[in-house]
Structure 1
Amino acid sequence: MADLEVYDDEDTAGQLSRGVQSVDRAIAVLEILRRRGGAGVSEIADEMGVHKSTASRLLASLLQGGMVQQNSERGKYHLGFGILRLANSIPGRLSLVQEARPLLDALAEKYKETVNLAVLRSNYAVNVDQAMGPSSLATHDWIGSLTPLHATSSGKVLLAGLSSEQREKILKETGLPTQTANTITSRRELEKQLMDVASTGYAAVYEEFEIGLNAVAVPVHDHAGAVIGAVSLSGPAFRFKPEEMPDMLEDLKHAGLEISSRMGYAPE
């Protein structure tokens, strides 16, 4: 009886291993189709390093489940509507605050500064979460605060992510009121800065919203590539100079991409 039980355990383990391998291979097929836009059996088999019959069986299963579809004329496979159906159910269940929180904490811990997560609401950047390092000098609670888009790093990131029509509508309603002597109140200068934000992937402000406060922010994207939020680091102007801290900028950009990935973003 003991020998029989060992045999059953080994047999079950083998079946599980084969099942996991099949799942891994099916995921690999879907990733190839996502990246290529379409591929035939031979192309998929070659890229995966498997026999054509194996690739064909995987595609047949995915086809049956609606995960892929086949072009009847060329015989190439593409992602199917089943993928779209599954993807459409994800965004509403993802919480930006929940997905971002570990990254905010890590940045605050490493740089000992205040980290905020902001979203666009009613023509303002609204801070929806905040993390502070253990020795941060900041004590202000920014959660729930409405901050002007044109004078804050998060606001500029959110503005840069809008279409020119959306941006025009918002700025026409809000104007560019002066917050400090450093606030950009020229529309032409602001547009130039927003082009730089789109190019560099971050926005930095130096005492534009509040005297003695500098900040830098990066975008957070959703599954469709739209900018849905901004992560910012801010600190006292006398020691926090973002563009003189390349390592910090890279860490902040990485955090923005990681949060975006958790929200379904997959950059090409």
Structure 2
Amino acid sequence: MTAFDGLVAVVTGGSSGIGAAVVRRLRSAGARVAVFDVDPGAADADLALRVDVADAASVDAAVAAVETRLGRLDVLVNNAGIGAQGTVADNADDEWLRVLDLNVVGIARTSRAALSLLRRSPAAAIVNTCSIAATAGLPQRALYSASKGAVLALTQAMAADHVAEGIRVNAVNPGTVDTPWVGRLLAHAADPAAERAALESRQPHGRLVSPDEVAEAVAYLASPLAGSTTGTSLAVDGGMQALRVRRG
């Protein structure tokens, strides 16, 4: 028996990067996993659904499909999100609204739709993908940081609201993770190798975080074995949040 035997999980944004690693990890531990993604074709899951977390009808229909086809829902991993670059002056209002709607309200939409099923679970857990950007000031990340700061606050508020119902809510705070999104950013840099080296050097352990390392943290937070862990955020950032390391 493994910790997730008999449980059903939903992972939003589960087709690539961190989300795909979370899907692999949960399935390896015995869970059946449904992926919600705008492009679910690459998902390796028990159920893959085309879902836009910015659209309530899309989310509601997908949660109903999970109940019909998998019979229950125990774990929700709110991982879907988009990035944004620039200072506070570099993005127009419509981009602010788009990023906040997907990164923050998207979590609210999916969690709201899932609550009725989670309330029936003996091992209900929600894990939100937050970021080091919520706890450290990063250059050229004003909009993204604002969205992830909201995710951190939302996680704590949801944990307080639902602890009495037996639903645990936590967040994982990755540093810079070696994902396709980061790869695309590096590809557009003037000197991709130098930019990658800069990203690696700002993390005290000297490298990018792997998606599998983040997935391991998500699995811990989602596991029934962590039944007393709620309202917290777990940094997976090579020490970037807490350490001040002298080099040389």
Give your verdict on TM over 0.5.
no
Report the structure, 1 or 2, having the larger helix content: 1
RCO higher in structure (CA 8 A, sep ≥6): 2
Q: Greater CA radius of gyration, 1 or 2?
A: 1
